[in-house]
């Protein structure tokens, strides 16, 4: 698919719904489970690209008729919004490695909150922080475009980024980056915290939305928390959204301990990933 083409509507599931890592055993369990539940796509965390076996992954995707998206996050030591140019450089290099890995497995959608690191900041972003992030993103976008890959920048809440927290703020960032293969990645969990409802941000972003995460307010079963999913999916219909719609949920039973701490997932919100995933795809398809 060319990055200029309209994206296909695909229902995805984050691999962390089924497994906390991407070892051969875990990857097979996650891929087979996603296929059994009826998902089109599986989102794979590639924050540590060296841990992803591309050949094994590509074979699994073919075996279970799945497409793949690559989820990417940065830490304080690889933050492209840092005032330390060596840290920015390290973040760009890691991103290129992750993009290479996604290309090797045949994926085209690179998503996550990688405009800055995933951490609680103690102060607002400075002009230098923003400029460094935008500059790095421009270079990353060009690198990804050469491989036919889209960058989808996730808008997360104020406790996980100080750079941008709403869809409208994200649009201003996209204007500065000004690359055709860079989109916004909206997530209902974060929108429920930061947006003025679940409609306005979607309508404002419209065709600049390239990826969607569906997550409940407490990260558990859809429809059991506070997110107004009916309004959100109605807004997606209004803009005729086409692209990945991926279910994301975390429980300390499954998530890798390091990521669990980063996301503050300290509760066992569920322990039956099969039941969770099957109900989630029915929930999403009933609304879109």
Question: Could you list the active site residues?
Answer: 154, 248
Buried residues in 62-85 as b, exposed as e (16+ CB within 10 A):
eebebbbbbbbbbbeebbbbbeee
Cα–Cα distance, 281 to 275 (Å, whole number): 10
Cα–Cα distance, 280 to 188 (Å, whole number): 14
Q: Please, which residues have CB within 8 angstroms of residue 124's CB and are 6 or more apart in sequence?
A: 162
Cα–Cα distance, 69 to 128 (Å, whole number): 31
Pair 115, 153: CB distance under 8 Å: yes
Cα–Cα distance, 52 to 112 (Å, whole number): 17
User: Among residues 30, 29, 62, which one has the least CA distance to residue 44?
Assistant: 30
């Amino acid at each position: 698919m060319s990055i200029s083409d309209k994206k296909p509507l695909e229902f995805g599931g984050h691999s962390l719904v089924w497994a906390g890592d991407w070892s051969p055993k875990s990857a097979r369990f996650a891929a087979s489970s996603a296929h059994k539940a009826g998902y089109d796509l599986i989102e794979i965390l590639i924050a540590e690209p060296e841990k992803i076996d591309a050949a094994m992954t590509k074979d699994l995707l073919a075996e279970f008729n799945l497409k793949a998206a690559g989820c990417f996050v940065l830490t304080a030591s690889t933050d492209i919004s840092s005032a330390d140019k060596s840290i920015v450089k390290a973040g760009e290099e890691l991103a290129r490695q992750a993009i290479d890995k996604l290309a090797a497995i045949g994926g085209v959608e690179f998503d996550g909150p990688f405009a800055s690191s995933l951490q609680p900041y103690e102060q607002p972003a400075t002009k230098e922080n923003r400029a460094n992030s935008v500059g790095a993103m421009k270079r990353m976008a060009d690198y990804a475009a050469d491989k036919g890959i889209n960058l989808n920048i996730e808008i997360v809440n104020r406790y996980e980024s100080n750079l941008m927290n709403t869809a409208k703020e994200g649009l201003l960032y996209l204007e500065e980056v000004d690359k055709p293969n860079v989109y916004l990645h909206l997530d209902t969990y974060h929108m429920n915290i930061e947006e003025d409802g679940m409609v306005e941000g979607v309508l404002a972003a419209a065709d600049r939305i390239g990826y969607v995460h569906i997550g409940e307010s407490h990260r558990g079963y859809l429809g059991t928390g506070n997110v107004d999913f009916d309004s959100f999916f109605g807004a997606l219909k209004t803009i005729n959204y086409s692209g990945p719609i991926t279910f994301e949920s975390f429980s300390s039973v499954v998530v890798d301990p390091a990521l669990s701490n980063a996301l503050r997932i300290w509760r066992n919100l569920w322990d039956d990933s099969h039941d969770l995933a099957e109900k989630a795809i029915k929930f999403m398809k009933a609304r879109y």
